Amino acid sequence: MRPDGAPNRPPKPAARAGRVGLWRYMRLFRQDILSAQPARLYRAWMAEFRTPFFRSFLCNDPALVRLVLQKRPEDFPKSARIGEGLAPLLGRSVFVTNGETWARQRRIIDPAFEGGRLRESHAAMWAAGQAAVARMPEGEVEIEAQASHVAADVIFRTLFSIPIEDETAAGVFAAFRAHQLSQPILNLAALLPLPGWLPRPYRRATRGTAREIRSLIAQLTANRMAQIRAGTAPADLATKIMTTPDPLTGRCFDTGEMADQVAIFFLAGHETSAAALAWALLMLALHPDVQARVAAEAVALSDDFSSVSGLKLTRSVLRETLRLYPPVPMMVREAAGPEQFRDRTVPRGAQIVLSPWHLHRHERLWPDPDAFDPERWMDGRAAEPARAAYIPFSAGPRVCPGAGFAMAEGVLLLGLLVRAFQFAPVAGPLPVPQAHLTVRARDGIRLSVVRRQGTDAA
């Protein structure tokens, strides 16, 4: 129970009540895509939404999800509507491109995450985790801010071998915090078919923070390119990517292309990891028995990469958190041609929405879907529903290349923080999940933080 006597059920936004008109739905959607949806989507296999401008189909049927992501992904490219909303920040990064442009980008990026790269990145993750333990205040703490700080530290240390205290890294971090609060997941251009020549209606704050972030990232990539040419570049992730030629063309990323990729690495490698870590700490605060077991398990953690493999409960906590709070709540593809989905005709150009948020809480797929139950990942109960409906990192050819990196990072940071501190809920209502660029809490996540006896920054 929480200090106010309320139950410890994981928070979930209230579903939309009843039917609403198109313009009301668009307003709700821009405010928060989660609470704009009706409750029936947690049971439906498929739902259709029509507007005067496009038709969309939300697919919860596992067979359709596999079809779109794994069996015929070339027939369902990434929707350009997502790119409309994220273009000021991400440019032409791998997250928004399709076809040969996307394939070339993945041919260059994927080798950086293969083989022993996780082991090579462990030292950077460990250093960032130790810094987070030393930095964590006691008392009532806004946990999302702390999670964002350490996740940003990890990405800068692994990408550019610089800590978050570096002036440029700190500038990117500050600007990104402002950007993700000002940026709706979709803007007006994503909802309406605007001609290419018409300026996009981005908020002034969104344009400003995106411009600042990209300027700082361009500075980092230009400096790294100069180091590579001088033979003085460190052997980190940025150097690996910038010196990897496309095996088909022999060309590497230039500094402009690399700036686009760094922007998505920061979004995917920082923002999503921060969201998952913050929600995981809230879940453990609400379940002190599980938290105590995680703390005991984490005693064995060390700067040896192999020590992470022993954190089986901690990994299950992270998996369950990603089920309840998938950082990217919805993915949008587009039908390249007419299709037949179940009993519905899907026209060419229709938007195909795959919703990890609804799949992961689907009442016909998961037992007790709204409960926090990390044991389900340890006793086999999650195996079947996970095969059908667990896609926190997407699936198929467009699966996140850094999925293994994110899991290793999340387990390590969660173990280090819980080993050093006891987290407890504070009085008042639980945080309400809301979708910005990722699933964040509407007013932050505040927890009581107390250092455990006998622990120090190490």
- pLDDT digits over 191-211, tens only? 555 545 445 556 676 777 788
d(CA 306, CA 308): 5
Q: In 10 A of CB 114, how many CB atoms?
A: 10
CB-count burial class (<10 Å; 0-12, 13-18, 19+) for 282: buried
**Which pLDDT value is given to residue 149?**
92
Pairing relationship of beta strands 55-59 and 351-354 according to DSSP bridges: parallel
Mean of all residue pLDDT scores within the chain: 88
What is the C-alpha separation between 365 and 264, in angstroms, rounded? 32
Q: How far apart are alpha carbons 41 and 60 in whole angstroms? A: 8
DSSP string, 280-348: HHHHHHH-HHHHHHHHHHGGG--SSGGGGGG-HHHHHHHHHHHHHS-SS--EEEE-SS-EEETTEEE-T
Secondary structure element (H or E) that encloses residue 289, with its range = helix 288-297
DSSP state, residue 458: -
**Predicted local confidence at residue 60, as pLDDT:** 97
| φ, ψ of residue 54 in degrees (nearest 5) | -165, 165
| Cα–Cα dist 29/81, whole Å | 14
Task: Report the DSSP beta bridge partners of residue 113.
Answer: none
DSSP 125: H
Q: What span, in angstroms and rounded, lies between the C-alpha atoms of 3 and 239?
A: 49
**Residues in CB range of 33: below 8 A, 6 or more apart:** 185, 186, 329, 330, 435
- Counted residue by residue, the chain has a size of 458
Conformational region of residue 232, where left means phi above 0, alpha means psi within -120 to 50, and beta covers everything else: alpha
Q: In terms of Cα–Cα distance, which of 30, 70, 61 is closest to 346?
A: 61
Q: Within a 13 Å sphere around the CA of 86, how many CA atoms are in the beta-carbon half?
A: 25
List, for the chain, all residue ranges whose pLDDT scores fall below the cut of 50. 188-189, 195, 197-198, 457-458
Contact 369, 362 (CB under 8 A): yes
Task: Pull the structure tokens for residue 282.
Answer: 């809230």
**Segment 320-361, tens digit of pLDDT:** 999 999 999 999 999 999 999 998 999 999 999 999 999 999
Q: Give the residues across from 142 on adjacent strands.
A: 446
- Which one, of 388, 345, 346, lies nearest residue 367 by Cα? 388
pLDDT confidence of residue 91: 83
Characterise 380 by phi-psi region: left (phi > 0), alpha (psi -120 to 50), beta (else).
left
Question: For 22-451, which CATH class?
Answer: mainly alpha
Give the pLDDT confidence score for residue 49 in this predicted structure. Answer: 86
Question: Distance between CA 378 and CA 346 in Å, rounded?
Answer: 39
Q: What pLDDT score was predicted for residue 182?
A: 60
At what angle are helices 204-230 and 80-90 packed, to 10 degrees? 70
pLDDT at residue number 415 = 98
